[in-house]
Amino acid sequence: MFNASQLTPAHVDALLSPRNGGTIRGEDAIAPGAVANVIQAHLAANGYREYVDYEGNGHVYRVIAEETVKVPWREFVADVSGALMALLEAVLATAPTGARARRATGTRAVLTSAERGATTYLRAVARDVRERLPELSEEEHKAAEDAAREARKAARSVVVEDPAAVRVARSSREANRRDEDKAQVRDLLGKWAAGLPSGRHVIGDVWAAWRRAIEAPRTYQKLREQKHGALRVGRTAFYALLEETGNVVNGGARKRYLVVP
Protein backbone atom coordinates (compact mmCIF):
# COMPACT_ATOMS: atom_id res chain seq x y z
CA MET A 1 0.00 0.00 0.00
CA PHE A 2 2.82 2.42 0.83
CA ASN A 3 5.90 2.41 -1.40
CA ALA A 4 9.04 2.58 0.74
CA SER A 5 10.83 4.50 -2.03
CA GLN A 6 8.50 7.43 -1.30
CA LEU A 7 9.92 7.81 2.22
CA THR A 8 12.52 10.58 2.42
CA PRO A 9 14.99 11.36 5.24
CA ALA A 10 12.88 14.45 5.96
CA HIS A 11 9.84 12.22 6.44
CA VAL A 12 11.75 9.98 8.86
CA ASP A 13 13.05 12.94 10.86
CA ALA A 14 9.57 14.43 11.14
CA LEU A 15 7.97 11.12 12.14
CA LEU A 16 10.54 10.34 14.83
CA SER A 17 10.98 13.87 16.14
CA PRO A 18 10.27 14.34 19.89
CA ARG A 19 7.70 17.02 19.04
CA ASN A 20 5.68 14.36 17.22
CA GLY A 21 5.99 11.81 20.00
CA GLY A 22 3.28 10.54 22.31
CA THR A 23 2.10 7.40 24.07
CA ILE A 24 -0.54 4.76 23.43
CA ARG A 25 -1.50 2.78 26.53
CA GLY A 26 1.95 3.44 27.98
CA GLU A 27 3.90 2.67 24.79
CA ASP A 28 6.04 5.32 23.08
CA ALA A 29 4.37 6.17 19.79
CA ILE A 30 4.24 8.58 16.87
CA ALA A 31 1.44 11.15 17.01
CA PRO A 32 -1.48 10.37 14.64
CA GLY A 33 -1.14 13.70 12.84
CA ALA A 34 2.50 13.04 11.99
CA VAL A 35 1.86 9.72 10.23
CA ALA A 36 -1.27 11.18 8.62
CA ASN A 37 0.84 13.86 6.94
CA VAL A 38 2.84 11.18 5.11
CA ILE A 39 0.02 8.72 4.40
CA GLN A 40 -2.37 11.32 3.00
CA ALA A 41 0.07 12.25 0.24
CA HIS A 42 0.26 8.62 -0.82
CA LEU A 43 -3.51 8.10 -0.73
CA ALA A 44 -4.13 11.40 -2.51
CA ALA A 45 -1.82 10.26 -5.30
CA ASN A 46 -3.94 7.12 -5.55
CA GLY A 47 -7.16 9.05 -6.06
CA TYR A 48 -8.54 9.40 -2.53
CA ARG A 49 -10.53 12.58 -1.89
CA GLU A 50 -12.59 14.10 0.92
CA TYR A 51 -16.05 15.54 0.47
CA VAL A 52 -17.68 17.56 3.25
CA ASP A 53 -21.47 17.65 3.03
CA TYR A 54 -23.72 20.55 3.98
CA GLU A 55 -23.97 19.29 7.56
CA GLY A 56 -20.20 19.35 7.94
CA ASN A 57 -19.71 15.57 7.80
CA GLY A 58 -16.63 14.29 6.00
CA HIS A 59 -16.84 11.44 3.46
CA VAL A 60 -14.15 9.64 1.47
CA TYR A 61 -14.30 9.07 -2.27
CA ARG A 62 -11.83 7.59 -4.71
CA VAL A 63 -11.33 8.80 -8.25
CA ILE A 64 -10.23 5.93 -10.49
CA ALA A 65 -9.80 6.75 -14.18
CA GLU A 66 -13.18 8.21 -15.21
CA GLU A 67 -15.06 6.77 -12.24
CA THR A 68 -15.61 8.25 -8.78
CA VAL A 69 -16.80 5.90 -6.04
CA LYS A 70 -17.62 6.40 -2.38
CA VAL A 71 -15.37 4.51 0.05
CA PRO A 72 -17.15 3.18 3.18
CA TRP A 73 -15.50 4.39 6.38
CA ARG A 74 -14.55 0.89 7.55
CA GLU A 75 -12.84 0.14 4.24
CA PHE A 76 -11.00 3.45 4.40
CA VAL A 77 -9.74 2.66 7.91
CA ALA A 78 -8.49 -0.69 6.60
CA ASP A 79 -6.73 1.06 3.69
CA VAL A 80 -5.10 3.49 6.13
CA SER A 81 -4.07 0.56 8.34
CA GLY A 82 -2.30 -1.15 5.44
CA ALA A 83 -0.49 2.04 4.47
CA LEU A 84 0.46 2.74 8.09
CA MET A 85 1.97 -0.70 8.69
CA ALA A 86 3.98 -0.45 5.46
CA LEU A 87 5.12 3.04 6.48
CA LEU A 88 6.31 1.82 9.90
CA GLU A 89 8.24 -1.04 8.29
CA ALA A 90 9.91 1.45 5.95
CA VAL A 91 10.80 3.73 8.88
CA LEU A 92 12.28 0.84 10.88
CA ALA A 93 14.30 -0.20 7.83
CA THR A 94 16.27 3.04 8.27
CA ALA A 95 17.61 1.58 11.56
CA PRO A 96 16.65 4.35 13.99
CA THR A 97 18.12 4.20 17.50
CA GLY A 98 17.17 5.19 21.03
CA ALA A 99 13.93 7.07 21.61
CA ARG A 100 13.42 7.40 17.85
CA ALA A 101 13.37 3.63 17.48
CA ARG A 102 11.04 3.22 20.48
CA ARG A 103 8.45 5.51 18.91
CA ALA A 104 8.35 3.43 15.73
CA THR A 105 8.47 0.01 17.42
CA GLY A 106 5.96 1.12 20.07
CA THR A 107 3.48 2.25 17.43
CA ARG A 108 3.87 -1.01 15.52
CA ALA A 109 3.52 -3.08 18.70
CA VAL A 110 0.24 -1.43 19.64
CA LEU A 111 -1.19 -1.76 16.13
CA THR A 112 -0.45 -5.49 16.03
CA SER A 113 -2.07 -6.09 19.42
CA ALA A 114 -5.71 -6.73 20.24
CA GLU A 115 -5.85 -3.78 22.65
CA ARG A 116 -8.61 -1.20 22.35
CA GLY A 117 -5.95 1.48 22.08
CA ALA A 118 -4.98 0.14 18.65
CA THR A 119 -8.45 0.77 17.24
CA THR A 120 -8.67 4.23 18.84
CA TYR A 121 -5.25 5.23 17.47
CA LEU A 122 -5.98 3.90 13.99
CA ARG A 123 -9.30 5.73 13.79
CA ALA A 124 -7.57 8.94 14.88
CA VAL A 125 -5.00 8.50 12.08
CA ALA A 126 -7.78 7.79 9.57
CA ARG A 127 -9.67 10.94 10.59
CA ASP A 128 -6.50 13.03 10.29
CA VAL A 129 -5.73 11.52 6.89
CA ARG A 130 -9.27 12.17 5.64
CA GLU A 131 -9.14 15.81 6.73
CA ARG A 132 -5.83 16.28 4.86
CA LEU A 133 -7.00 14.75 1.57
CA PRO A 134 -7.66 17.01 -1.42
CA GLU A 135 -11.29 18.09 -1.72
CA LEU A 136 -13.58 16.29 -4.11
CA SER A 137 -15.03 18.81 -6.54
CA GLU A 138 -18.77 19.38 -6.69
CA GLU A 139 -18.73 18.09 -10.27
CA GLU A 140 -17.01 14.85 -9.23
CA HIS A 141 -19.39 14.43 -6.30
CA LYS A 142 -22.43 14.96 -8.51
CA ALA A 143 -21.09 12.45 -11.04
CA ALA A 144 -20.56 9.87 -8.28
CA GLU A 145 -24.06 10.39 -6.85
CA ASP A 146 -25.64 10.25 -10.33
CA ALA A 147 -23.82 6.99 -11.10
CA ALA A 148 -24.91 5.46 -7.78
CA ARG A 149 -28.50 6.60 -8.40
CA GLU A 150 -28.53 5.05 -11.88
CA ALA A 151 -27.14 1.79 -10.49
CA ARG A 152 -29.92 1.65 -7.88
CA LYS A 153 -32.52 2.46 -10.51
CA ALA A 154 -31.21 -0.29 -12.80
CA ALA A 155 -31.31 -2.79 -9.94
CA ARG A 156 -34.94 -1.89 -9.17
CA SER A 157 -35.95 -2.13 -12.81
CA VAL A 158 -34.92 -5.77 -13.16
CA VAL A 159 -38.04 -7.82 -13.88
CA VAL A 160 -38.33 -10.86 -11.67
CA GLU A 161 -40.36 -13.52 -13.44
CA ASP A 162 -40.76 -15.84 -10.45
CA PRO A 163 -40.42 -14.07 -7.07
CA ALA A 164 -40.97 -17.28 -5.11
CA ALA A 165 -38.16 -19.06 -6.94
CA VAL A 166 -35.87 -16.09 -6.38
CA ARG A 167 -36.63 -16.13 -2.64
CA VAL A 168 -35.91 -19.84 -2.43
CA ALA A 169 -32.63 -19.45 -4.32
CA ARG A 170 -31.60 -16.48 -2.17
CA SER A 171 -32.47 -18.35 1.01
CA SER A 172 -30.42 -21.33 -0.14
CA ARG A 173 -27.41 -19.14 -0.96
CA GLU A 174 -27.61 -17.40 2.41
CA ALA A 175 -27.87 -20.73 4.24
CA ASN A 176 -24.84 -22.05 2.36
CA ARG A 177 -22.88 -18.91 3.17
CA ARG A 178 -23.78 -19.16 6.86
CA ASP A 179 -22.60 -22.77 6.90
CA GLU A 180 -19.35 -21.79 5.19
CA ASP A 181 -18.85 -18.91 7.65
CA LYS A 182 -19.40 -21.21 10.62
CA ALA A 183 -16.95 -23.76 9.24
CA GLN A 184 -14.26 -21.08 8.90
CA VAL A 185 -14.93 -19.70 12.37
CA ARG A 186 -15.05 -23.17 13.94
CA ASP A 187 -11.50 -23.85 12.80
CA LEU A 188 -10.19 -20.42 13.82
CA LEU A 189 -12.04 -20.31 17.14
CA GLY A 190 -10.62 -23.59 18.39
CA LYS A 191 -7.07 -22.38 17.87
CA TRP A 192 -7.76 -18.93 19.32
CA ALA A 193 -9.58 -20.14 22.44
CA ALA A 194 -6.75 -22.55 23.22
CA GLY A 195 -4.52 -19.52 23.73
CA LEU A 196 -6.70 -18.02 26.48
CA PRO A 197 -5.45 -18.20 30.08
CA SER A 198 -6.36 -21.36 31.99
CA GLY A 199 -9.52 -21.19 34.07
CA ARG A 200 -13.17 -20.19 33.71
CA HIS A 201 -14.18 -17.30 31.46
CA VAL A 202 -17.67 -15.78 31.25
CA ILE A 203 -18.73 -16.41 27.67
CA GLY A 204 -19.76 -12.75 27.28
CA ASP A 205 -16.18 -11.78 28.10
CA VAL A 206 -14.93 -14.38 25.62
CA TRP A 207 -17.10 -12.80 22.91
CA ALA A 208 -15.73 -9.33 23.72
CA ALA A 209 -12.14 -10.62 23.61
CA TRP A 210 -12.84 -12.37 20.29
CA ARG A 211 -14.17 -9.14 18.77
CA ARG A 212 -11.12 -7.21 19.94
CA ALA A 213 -8.85 -9.89 18.47
CA ILE A 214 -10.44 -9.96 15.01
CA GLU A 215 -10.79 -6.16 14.88
CA ALA A 216 -7.09 -5.58 15.57
CA PRO A 217 -5.90 -3.65 12.48
CA ARG A 218 -3.54 -6.24 10.97
CA THR A 219 -5.89 -9.17 11.72
CA TYR A 220 -8.92 -7.32 10.37
CA GLN A 221 -7.07 -6.43 7.18
CA LYS A 222 -6.09 -10.08 6.65
CA LEU A 223 -9.61 -11.39 7.36
CA ARG A 224 -11.10 -8.76 5.07
CA GLU A 225 -8.81 -9.77 2.22
CA GLN A 226 -9.83 -13.41 2.77
CA LYS A 227 -13.54 -12.46 3.04
CA HIS A 228 -13.45 -14.57 6.20
CA GLY A 229 -16.62 -15.65 7.99
CA ALA A 230 -15.27 -14.34 11.30
CA LEU A 231 -16.33 -10.84 10.19
CA ARG A 232 -19.96 -11.93 9.70
CA VAL A 233 -20.73 -14.45 12.46
CA GLY A 234 -22.78 -12.85 15.24
CA ARG A 235 -22.92 -13.39 18.99
CA THR A 236 -25.56 -16.18 18.99
CA ALA A 237 -23.75 -18.25 16.37
CA PHE A 238 -20.46 -17.58 18.18
CA TYR A 239 -21.82 -19.00 21.45
CA ALA A 240 -23.07 -22.11 19.63
CA LEU A 241 -19.67 -22.62 18.00
CA LEU A 242 -17.98 -22.07 21.36
CA GLU A 243 -19.95 -25.01 22.77
CA GLU A 244 -18.91 -27.15 19.82
CA THR A 245 -15.22 -26.34 20.06
CA GLY A 246 -14.74 -25.92 23.82
CA ASN A 247 -15.98 -26.88 27.26
CA VAL A 248 -18.87 -24.54 28.16
CA VAL A 249 -20.47 -25.04 31.59
CA ASN A 250 -23.28 -23.44 33.59
CA GLY A 251 -22.43 -21.40 36.66
CA GLY A 252 -24.12 -19.31 39.31
CA ALA A 253 -26.31 -16.27 38.62
CA ARG A 254 -27.39 -17.84 35.32
CA LYS A 255 -23.93 -17.34 33.87
CA ARG A 256 -22.14 -19.68 31.51
CA TYR A 257 -18.42 -20.16 31.34
CA LEU A 258 -15.80 -21.43 28.92
CA VAL A 259 -13.38 -23.65 30.79
CA VAL A 260 -9.84 -23.55 29.43
CA PRO A 261 -7.55 -26.35 30.70
- Residue 161 is predicted with a pLDDT of 55
pLDDT at position 162 is 64
Last residue of a domain, one of 154, 183, 211: 154
Binned at pLDDT 50, 70 and 90, residue 139 comes out as confident
pLDDT for residue 4 is more than 90: no
Give the model's pLDDT for residue 165: 66
Clarify whether residues 142 and 204 are in a common domain: no
Residue 149 sits in the same domain as residue 190: no
**Same domain assignment for residues 136 and 175:** no
> Are 131 and 191 part of one and the same domain?
no
Q: Are residues 14 and 142 in the same domain?
A: yes
> Quick check: is 88 in a domain?
yes
Same domain, 139 and 168: no
Whether 144 and 170 map to the same domain: the answer is no
Same domain, 22 and 113: yes
Provide the domain limits for residue 147.
Answer: 4-154
Check whether residue 51 and residue 147 sit in a common domain.
yes
Tens of pLDDT, residues 175-191: 788 888 888 888 888 88
Residue 84 falls inside a structural domain: yes
DSSP-derived secondary structure letter, 196: S
Q: Residue 64: which pLDDT band, with cuts at 50, 70 and 90?
A: confident
**Residue at a domain's end among 135, 154, 173:** 154
Residue 159 lies in a domain: no
CA distances from 242 to 142, 168, 198, 256, 261 (A): 48, 30, 16, 11, 15
In this structure, is residue 74 part of a structural domain? yes
Domain final residue pick, 92, 123, 154:
154
Residues 168 and 146 occupy one common structural domain: no
User: Is 46 domain-assigned?
Assistant: yes
Q: Domain total for the chain?
A: 2
pTM of the model: 0.58
Burial of 77 (0-12, 13-18, 19+ CB in 10 A): buried
Task: Answer yes or no: do 150 and 179 share one domain.
Answer: no
Residues 6+ apart with CB under 8 A from 27: 106, 107, 109, 110
